[in-house]
Chain A
């Protein structure tokens, strides 16, 4: 039986949503009507324009509420969910013990990206929001190469360190440069014939698992990712490969 989802505001099925936008028109009755029609064009029934304020010499800022007529059939959704289950630190360390050696992880913000907040949160000892990073695990040998690392340099370091996994962080997304950069690393590793030596993970505020898989990575980690999620994914996959399954069947 299909499960239909509608936006829930105050009562089941009311479809209430809020929209905020600017239009290149000055405030007035015409502008209010324009905003109303704009909301209607997005499928909102009986939209109420609740704010109309001039925000630049030529633009007006609007807030509108309305009833969305749209609904989603959850059963038709096919999303590549990350395989890793949440694991405790002890479970992850136990996998490391079974492996019998440290798992080498190399991470960097590649290309021109200078925003290390994400990779620091995952790799550095300090971690983020109360959870320590991969450096704090006995089973990981984590190397954070920092910001603005070229793909070539990252590949060289990963090879030199005998990395099991490469973590790529991409924060800057203007005109999709994060996708190009991330895909270029895969191309480079393929050309060098070493693609299958590494588990490749991609992270960043605009990254999800689906995008990462499309770009040729084994997994993608978006906003809110905790170090333990990455740790669990890497440990499970490296252990699985060590047990003889060389290539991820999902690829």
Chain B
């Protein structure tokens, strides 16, 4: 492979700085929980359904506990206590607490230890449900030949889950390996997960557990029909990061968009909330064998892709450090980056290749996620198609793992059936015609590509050292990533963060941490 020279000492120093950055945050994470995490725990215990207004029972339950100021005890404590007091199931316990006005007095009553004991069977059942879904996915997937890299990833976004299912199957027919159902705009800001199948959404389709099932079924059918596996992905991000992770885990999704900082920067979700939520969501992801896709590509839509390329690399080190702390293995970390340099800049292709190659070598076991150009796309679909072809060429020659295919109509609308077909056709062509290009060439010593790779790594290291010194809370406050500035206590969802009580009970997390 045409490698760029890599200064391993600098790479090690980057990892060490990222580790220190993540450790600082992890100390905070380990002392806090959120309403989102507690709703996830409730769902894991089988709490399901919604009231006639559509408020999920998990929300009604946790909201009542949160209002009473007891989130820090953990919803498991209250569910376990209700079981000890005669509730027949976690669902019945949840209904009693949410709707029946059961006492939330934490003085006296059973001990945390007793509540844990009452939930013992339920905890094992919850974990077994996740493990069984993972096993079922792996067994099914093993029936099909492994797809060639880069995996071809396309999105569908009709707003109607039943149309999405048809489009997902069509995508597999046309050659897709992975299908994502884009979420409805602003779902990341909803502090609940809607219930049931949905047929209305702007910019995409709501992520719900039932919608996950509908797409999984369609994807399985398409896999059978075409003899090639179709992987499913969705978004574990926003205020319901960990609930979505749980739903994805039990509904056999293959991948999840999941980033330690994306929500903070691009959805203005509170920093503390996001860091605490990403940890629990990633614990679930780790157990489920799901591959995450991180969102560094977004930095280059708000910041300049030439000047700020190193922020992407720095963030990848940070995402890796957080993911490791949540138990993910390297082959579950689809670190993201993108082809977003101004296409009219001379030698921009070489700069793109340099970064792609650098990332490939530093994260050599990771299923790197390569994102297409968007920022400089215009309504000229013909030119856009050429732009995407260059992106495909960079992707295949640097051995990227997961490639979200560019759409020639990127600047116009959510992809039409035909747009996806053409994207898949041209990717198939470029991936085939240049399959071994990267193996056959060498970069000119001291040339543009080598110099660029060296510069990006050097600047990423400088930034990581600076972020380590400032602490990530202040670094984000100063606009270190994506040129976006956020305050530690600002943003949405901060009220949903709670300090863990010394008696905090979360047997699901304990199980996922496996005696960490």
Contact among A55, A147, A175, A205 with B417 in the assembled complex (CB-CB below 8 Å): A55
Question: In the complex the two chains form, is B173's CB within 8 Å of A57's CB?
Answer: yes
Chain A residues near B375 (CB, 8 Å)?
117
Q: Which of A6-14, A108-116, A158-166, A182-190 contacts B (4 or more CB under 8 A)?
A: A108-116
Chain A residues near B202 (CB, 8 Å)?
112, 172, 174-175, 177
A246 lies within 8 A of chain B by Cβ: no
Distance in Å from the Cβ of B366 to the closest Cβ of chain A? 27
Question: In the complex the two chains form, is B203's CB within 8 Å of A174's CB?
Answer: yes
Contact among B159, B185, B189, B418 with A22 in the assembled complex (CB-CB below 8 Å): B418
Chain A residues near B225 (CB, 8 Å)?
57
Complex Cα distance A147/B265, Å?
Answer: 11
Interface 0/1 of A44-80, CB less than 8 Å to B: 0000000001011111010000000000000000000
Distance in Å from the Cβ of A174 to the closest Cβ of chain B? 5
Distance in Å from the Cβ of B382 to the closest Cβ of chain A? 10
Chain A contributes a number of interface residues (CB within 8 A of B) equal to 29
Question: In the complex the two chains form, is A224's CB within 8 Å of B378's CB?
Answer: yes
Chain B contributes a number of interface residues (CB within 8 A of A) equal to 36
Contact among A55, A116, A224 with B302 in the assembled complex (CB-CB below 8 Å): A116
Contact among B189, B268, B418, B421 with A146 in the assembled complex (CB-CB below 8 Å): B268
Residues A73-131 near B (CB distance < 8 A): 112-114, 116-117, 120, 126, 129
B411 lies within 8 A of chain A by Cβ: yes
Question: In the complex the two chains form, is B185's CB within 8 Å of A61's CB?
Answer: no
Complex Cα distance A175/B186, Å?
Answer: 16
B63 lies within 8 A of chain A by Cβ: no
Distance in Å from the Cβ of B385 to the closest Cβ of chain A? 11
B413 lies within 8 A of chain A by Cβ: yes
Question: In the complex the two chains form, is A120's CB within 8 Å of B302's CB?
Answer: yes
Chain A residues near B428 (CB, 8 Å)?
none
Complex Cα distance A42/B414, Å?
Answer: 25
Distance in Å from the Cβ of B463 to the closest Cβ of chain A? 18
> Which residue from chain B places its CB closest to the CB of A148 in the assembled complex?
B186
Question: In the complex the two chains form, is B267's CB within 8 Å of A114's CB?
Answer: yes
Question: In the complex the two chains form, is B185's CB within 8 Å of A113's CB?
Answer: yes
Complex Cα distance A196/B274, Å?
Answer: 41
Question: In the complex the two chains form, is B266's CB within 8 Å of A56's CB?
Answer: no
Contact among A21, A56, A129, A146 with B170 in the assembled complex (CB-CB below 8 Å): A56
Distance in Å from the Cβ of B174 to the closest Cβ of chain A? 6
Complex Cα distance A3/B379, Å?
Answer: 27
Chain B residues near A59 (CB, 8 Å)?
170, 417
> Which residue from chain A places its CB closest to the CB of B484 in the assembled complex?
A146
Chain B residues near A223 (CB, 8 Å)?
378-379, 411
Complex Cα distance A114/B484, Å?
Answer: 14
B304 lies within 8 A of chain A by Cβ: yes
Distance in Å from the Cβ of B198 to the closest Cβ of chain A? 14
Question: In the complex the two chains form, is B418's CB within 8 Å of A20's CB?
Answer: yes
Question: In the complex the two chains form, is B302's CB within 8 Å of A114's CB?
Answer: no
Interface 0/1 of A172-201, CB less than 8 Å to B: 111101000000000000000000000000
Complex Cα distance A112/B268, Å?
Answer: 13
Interface 0/1 of B406-446, CB less than 8 Å to A: 00000111101110011000000000000000000000000
Residue with the highest number of chain B CB atoms closer than 10 Å, among A53, A61, A114, A174: A174
Distance in Å from the Cβ of B438 to the closest Cβ of chain A? 29
Instruction: Known A22-B417, A146-B268, A223-B411; judge A172-B185 contact (CB<8 A).
Output: yes
Question: In the complex the two chains form, is B185's CB within 8 Å of A205's CB?
Answer: no
Contact among B302, B378, B413 with A173 in the assembled complex (CB-CB below 8 Å): B413
Distance in Å from the Cβ of A171 to the closest Cβ of chain B? 9
Question: In the complex the two chains form, is A117's CB within 8 Å of B203's CB?
Answer: no
Question: In the complex the two chains form, is B421's CB within 8 Å of A61's CB?
Answer: yes
Question: In the complex the two chains form, is A55's CB within 8 Å of B185's CB?
Answer: no
> Which residue from chain A places its CB closest to the CB of B174 in the assembled complex?
A55
Residue with the highest number of chain A CB atoms closer than 10 Å, among B189, B203, B416, B483: B203
Contact among A21, A147, A148, A174 with B159 in the assembled complex (CB-CB below 8 Å): A174
Complex Cα distance A113/B225, Å?
Answer: 37
B169 lies within 8 A of chain A by Cβ: yes
B301 lies within 8 A of chain A by Cβ: yes
Complex Cα distance A114/B374, Å?
Answer: 14
Chain B residues near A114 (CB, 8 Å)?
185-186, 266-267
Distance in Å from the Cβ of B168 to the closest Cβ of chain A? 10
Residues B163-182 near A (CB distance < 8 A): 169-170, 173-174
Chain A residues near B342 (CB, 8 Å)?
129
Distance in Å from the Cβ of B275 to the closest Cβ of chain A? 21
Residues B381-425 near A (CB distance < 8 A): 411-414, 416-418, 421-422
Complex Cα distance A147/B303, Å?
Answer: 15
> Which residue from chain A places its CB closest to the CB of B378 in the assembled complex?
A223
Complex Cα distance A96/B394, Å?
Answer: 46
Interface 0/1 of B342-384, CB less than 8 Å to A: 1010000000000000000000000000000011101100000
Chain A residues near B422 (CB, 8 Å)?
61
Distance in Å from the Cβ of B357 to the closest Cβ of chain A? 27
Question: In the complex the two chains form, is B169's CB within 8 Å of A56's CB?
Answer: yes
Complex Cα distance A175/B157, Å?
Answer: 13
Chain A residues near B173 (CB, 8 Å)?
55-57
Question: In the complex the two chains form, is A56's CB within 8 Å of B379's CB?
Answer: no
Question: In the complex the two chains form, is A172's CB within 8 Å of B302's CB?
Answer: no
Chain A residues near B159 (CB, 8 Å)?
174-175
Complex Cα distance A177/B268, Å?
Answer: 22
> Which residue from chain A places its CB closest to the CB of B307 in the assembled complex?
A126
Chain B residues near A21 (CB, 8 Å)?
418
Residue with the highest number of chain A CB atoms closer than 10 Å, among B225, B301, B418: B418
Chain A residues near B184 (CB, 8 Å)?
112
Complex Cα distance A20/B417, Å?
Answer: 12
Residue with the highest number of chain B CB atoms closer than 10 Å, among A113, A117, A146: A117
The 9 A-B pairs at the shortest CB distance, nearest first, are namely A56-B170, A112-B186, A55-B421, A112-B185, A172-B203, A174-B202, A22-B418, A61-B418, A177-B202
A-B contacts, 23 of them at CB < 8 A, read A21-B418, A55-B173, A55-B174, A55-B417, A55-B418, A112-B184, A113-B185, A117-B374, A117-B375, A126-B483, A129-B376, A147-B266, A147-B268, A148-B186, A148-B189, A172-B202, A172-B203, A174-B203, A175-B202, A205-B379, A205-B411, A205-B412, A223-B411
Q: Which residues of A contact B (CB under 8 A)?
A: 20-22, 53, 55-59, 61, 112-114, 116-117, 120, 126, 129, 146-148, 172-175, 177, 205, 223-224
Q: Which residues of B contact A (CB under 8 A)?
A: 159, 169-170, 173-174, 184-186, 189, 202-203, 225, 266-268, 301-304, 342, 344, 374-376, 378-379, 411-414, 416-418, 421-422, 483
4 further A-B contacts with Cβ under 8 Å, apart from A129-B344, A129-B376, A174-B414, are A59-B417, A61-B418, A205-B379, A205-B411
